[in-house]
Amino acid sequence: MEKVKIAVIGAGPAGIAVAIEAKANNIEPVVVLERSECICNTIVKFYKPGKRVDANFRKEDIKPLGICSFETETKEEFLQRIENWVKKWKLDIRLKSEVTEIKKRNGEYEIFVKDKPEFLSEYVVIAIGIFGKPNRPSYPIPKELEDKVFLEPPLEIPKNKKVLVVGGGNTAAEVACALCEANQVFLSYRRPQFFRINEINLKNLEKRKKQGRLTLLMATDIEKIESYNDRVKVFFKDGKKEIYDLIYYCLGGTTPKNFLRRIGIEFDGKGEPLMDEFFETNLPKVFLAGDIALKQGSIMKAFNSAHIIIKRIKEKYLSG
């Protein structure tokens, strides 16, 4: 694994600002991991040409605390500004690098990119915004199956169900193994063999297969699904049909809150992530920045959260 001082998850305004503040304070190396093909993906994707980008939300007057600041400008001007900052500060941004898991290991954090442990970082700043969502299959999911077909791993394990897990990565393997404890589980993968799964998960799959608690459906592809007597009927492309109680798709992507819950960040009774005034979560040295941390986000608030986080890391952990 590549060792870094700070891993920033998300290359939107907040993530970019975190990397800039860190480099300005000589906290390096810093890597920024972005799942999409470009930085500031939300602005690139959802802002029309010429649309104004405001520093503040609904005429708030938030003063800049750190390095990053701007006044209202067009989409094109703002994106050029960000590009200039990236070049000026020589930021290390890895595009098409979707973070699927973060695990604590001996006081540091393993960062999994597309289900593989790629980085070992002392600090993690999550700046993924609020618009992420899980990947869907190519065929439609009937509306009447919304309570039986899920696009993310379960937060609570069901019991005594016939369950189909779809996917070929570590997440699919871990979900299948977890569900095996109380259910009859089938794992469908379109390739004849796994090639993205780590050795531990492969061993766990084989163990449960030998125990008769898991059936591997290799080289199987699904054509469509339908509702059938309050269950799910699955049509495979080889002509086979099967009935299941539940389906879990593990095809990548996640909603931001579910991602935070899965890695162990706690939430309050209102469904907001728990953190202190410096944006540090219950996981030591793991911080939230930007919209994921702010109830009413604005770009200036996102920039300021980055400044507060890096200042806190320097004063709390690096001052001695």
Same domain, 123 and 260: yes
Same domain, 261 and 124: yes
The CA–CA distances, whole Å, from 264 to 125, 129, 142 equal: 14, 18, 32
Is 138 domain-assigned?
Answer: no
Give pLDDT, residue 312. Answer: 98
- Residue 202 sits in a domain whose CATH number is 3.50.50.60
The CA–CA distances, whole Å, from 302 to 24, 192, 264 equal: 17, 45, 23
> Are 148 and 232 spatial neighbours (Cβ–Cβ below 8 Å)?
yes
Q: Three-state DSSP class for 260?
A: helix
| Residue 310 CB neighbours (<10 A) | 29
Strand 231-236 to 222-228 pairing:
antiparallel
10-residue mean pLDDT series, the chain (320 residues): 97 97 98 96 90 83 93 96 98 96 94 93 92 84 94 89 94 93 95 87 94 95 96 96 96 82 91 94 97 84 97 92
Give this prediction's pTM: 0.76
Same domain, 64 and 170: no
Tell me which residue range forms the domain holding 10.
2-133+255-317
**Domain C-terminal end among 216, 234, 249:** 249
**How many folded domains does the chain comprise?**
2
Same domain, 65 and 37: yes
Same domain, 274 and 240: no
The sign of the torsion formed by the CA atoms of 247, 252, 256, 257 equals positive
Give pLDDT, residue 252. Answer: 79
The CA–CA distances, whole Å, from 130 to 53, 139, 237, 293, 308 equal: 18, 25, 36, 10, 20
Cα end-to-end span (Å), the chain: 27
Same domain, 114 and 24: yes
Same domain, 11 and 119: yes
Give pLDDT, residue 297. Answer: 67
Is 148 domain-assigned?
Answer: yes
Give pLDDT, residue 296. Answer: 65
Give pLDDT, residue 132. Answer: 67
**Domain C-terminal end among 192, 214, 249:** 249
**Domain C-terminal end among 232, 249, 266:** 249
Give pLDDT, residue 156. Answer: 86
Give pLDDT, residue 273. Answer: 93
